[in-house]
Amino acid sequence: QVELVESGGGLVKPGGSLRLSCAGSGLTLSSYGIGWFRQAPGEEREGVSCISSRARDGTTYYKDSVKGRFTISRDNAKNTVYLEMNNLEPEDTAVYYCATTDCRSWTATYWGPGTRVTVSS
């Protein structure tokens, strides 16, 4: 069965870093665009970053507020997509989800259960 599982969340101080992982099973992630989304308390879910499939040359996309701080990447040998998050801010606090995604439209299909990121002093 198709399964995506996020890991790497936790509590970090402002200015700190985390690397989130999205591990796939039952599908080859390189064949899909993979997006990272987040939902903060009381807020709507928003797209954060996306990396297109190998067929679309792995083009990357970022929400303006994370550009220059977050980096999305793939390790196809591990069937995993990463989100490196640097210089974290309290506003980054949210549950982060990965999903198979059409990066051109931010349309997601299969979702993982999410991993919680808390940025607080």
Per the CB < 8 A criterion, the answer to whether 8 and 23 are in contact is: no
Q: Can you give the pLDDT at residue 3?
A: 96
Q: How far apart are CA 64 and CA 104, in angstroms?
A: 16
Q: Which two tokens stand for residue 48?
A: 């954060």
Give backbone dihedrals phi and psi of 47, rounded to 5 degrees, phi first.
Answer: -75, 135
Per the CB < 8 A criterion, the answer to whether 76 and 25 are in contact is: no
Per the CB < 8 A criterion, the answer to whether 22 and 4 are in contact is: yes
- How many CB atoms within 10 Å of residue 94? 22
Q: Can you give the pLDDT at residue 58?
A: 94
Kindly give the confidence (pLDDT) of every residue in the chain, 121 residues in length, as a single tens digit, with 9 standing for 90 and above: 899 999 999 999 999 999 999 999 999 999 999 999 999 999 999 999 999 999 999 999 999 999 999 999 999 999 999 999 999 999 999 999 999 999 999 999 999 999 999 999 9
